[in-house]
Homo-oligomer: A and B are copies of this chain.
Amino acid sequence: MLNIGHYSFSSRLLLGTGKYPDFKTQKEAVEVSGSEILTFAVRRMNIFEGSQPNFLEMLDLEKYTLLPNTAGAKTAEEAVRIAKLAKASGLCDMVKVEVIGCDKTLLPDPVETLKATEELLKEGFIVLPYTSDDVVLARRLEELGSHAIMPAASPIGSGQGIINPLYLKFIIEQTKVPVIVDAGIGSASDAMIAMELGADGVLLNTAVAGAKDPVKMALAMKMAVEAGKLGYEAGRIPRKETATASSPLEGLSVK
């Protein structure tokens, strides 16, 4: 089980809700993925105005836990404001803190992320900060009391996968709360590698929403995350530079 704050989830795949070709595909992809946690940009969702269609309305909200994110915030203050709006809607008490510090890379601002995390923790939120793969920053975020740490595999939407598996591994090893690898996942094997490194979950959006067949990719992702967890637990063989026979033949007679 993936335990975050007072929640428990069987699925370790978290899905974003942006950029799907249409609501029907999105709904099907979400169902197939087995995800129990859906993230959405508070500023994007029309939760405050009924005039426009809204994907969340189409969902059976009994089945999903919503994880609003503060996408669009560039300061801690903005992130806190957005998080409070989300909470006020009554839909959720969790928040993914996302404070972008660079428009080109969409990588997070460490200082503002720390501030927003601290403030929202004080306010009683269940806080999951989105962070770079800075090892010590992840530690500071955990020390503040974050309920999970969400390091980026690579820039949001880039599909570059895990650029720096070493730093992710360091973060995973040092962190006692769940580590959910977030952003940059391009293929199902990227999600699997995150889990094989020991991550507790993976959050992705574009890799499914932007695939040629989002529903099929959602299934691939579900299986990849589950298989990656199994692979981590099963304990892989060490890498060796040279070869080792699968079936050693010393002393055998037939030749």
Query: What is the interface of chain A, defined by CB distance below 8 A to chain B?
Result: 16-19, 40-44, 48, 71-72, 78, 81-82, 85, 101-102, 104-111, 114, 132, 134-137, 139-140, 154-160, 163-164, 166-167, 170, 174, 186-189, 192-193, 196, 205-207, 209-214, 216-217, 219-221, 223-224, 226-228, 230-231, 233-249, 252, 254-255
Contact A212 B226 (CB under 8 A): no
CB distance from A148 to the nearest CB of B (A): 18
A216:B234 contact, CB within 8 angstroms: yes
Partner of A237, one of B192, B207, B233: B207
Beta-carbon contact of B223 and A226 below 8 Å: yes
* 9 closest cross-chain pairs (CB), A and B: A212-B235, A101-B136, A157-B244, A155-B243, A223-B227, A18-B247, A217-B234, A106-B243, A41-B247
Give A246 to B96 CA distance when docked, in angstroms.
Answer: 14
Q: In the complex, which residues of chain B have a beta carbon less than 8 angstroms from the beta carbon of A163? A: 163-164, 166-167
Beyond the given A134-B137, A206-B244, please list 6 additional residue pairs across the A-B interface where CB-CB is below 8 A.
A18-B246, A44-B248, A82-B254, A206-B246, A216-B234, A227-B227
List the B side residues contacting A211 at CB < 8 Å.
Answer: 234-237
Is the Cβ of B237 less than 8 Å from the Cβ of A210? Answer: yes
Docked-complex contact B158 and A254, CB < 8 angstroms: no
Docked complex Cα distance between A27 and B106 (Å): 45
